[in-house]
Amino acid sequence: MNIDITFRHMEHTNALDQMIREKSEKFSKWFGPGTEVHWTCWLEGIGHCSEVSIIAGAEKYFAKAYSDDLYKTFDLIVHKIQNQIT
């Protein structure tokens, strides 16, 4: 699985990087090892936004989440992607 992570207007920390990679492991289980995952995280007003774009073979998935806590957006995105595939 190829994971690309972009942060806009915020600090890229090892803890954030690790959490995103852990959350992305679920995508690997669902879509297989050749999956490409692109995460983007940024600040919007006083909140945090994250989005993910997934390419798994010919299939494409996208989810976006907004919350007061960046880590919470990761869980919301994983849940939204799971809803798309079930």
Number of domains forming the structure of the chain: 1
> For residue range 13-42, what is the model confidence (pLDDT) as tens digits?
999 999 999 999 999 899 988 899 999 999
Q: Exposed, middle or buried: residue 48 (CB in 10 Å: 0-12, 13-18, 19+)?
A: buried
* Percent above pLDDT 90 for the chain: 83
Entry pTM? 0.91
Residue 16 lies in a domain: no
Residue 14 lies in a domain: no
Residue 48 lies in a domain: yes
Residue 26 lies in a domain: yes
Residue 46 lies in a domain: yes
The pLDDT of residue 33: 84
Mean pLDDT of the chain: 94
| CATH number of the domain that residue 70 is part of | 3.30.160.100
The residue among 40 and 86 whose pLDDT is bigger is: 40
Kindly state the average pLDDT of the residues 52-59: 95
Residue 27 lies in a domain: yes
DSSP letter string, 13-46: -HHHHHHHHHHHHHHHHHH-TT-EEEEEEEEETT
Domain extent, residue 26, equals 2-9+21-85
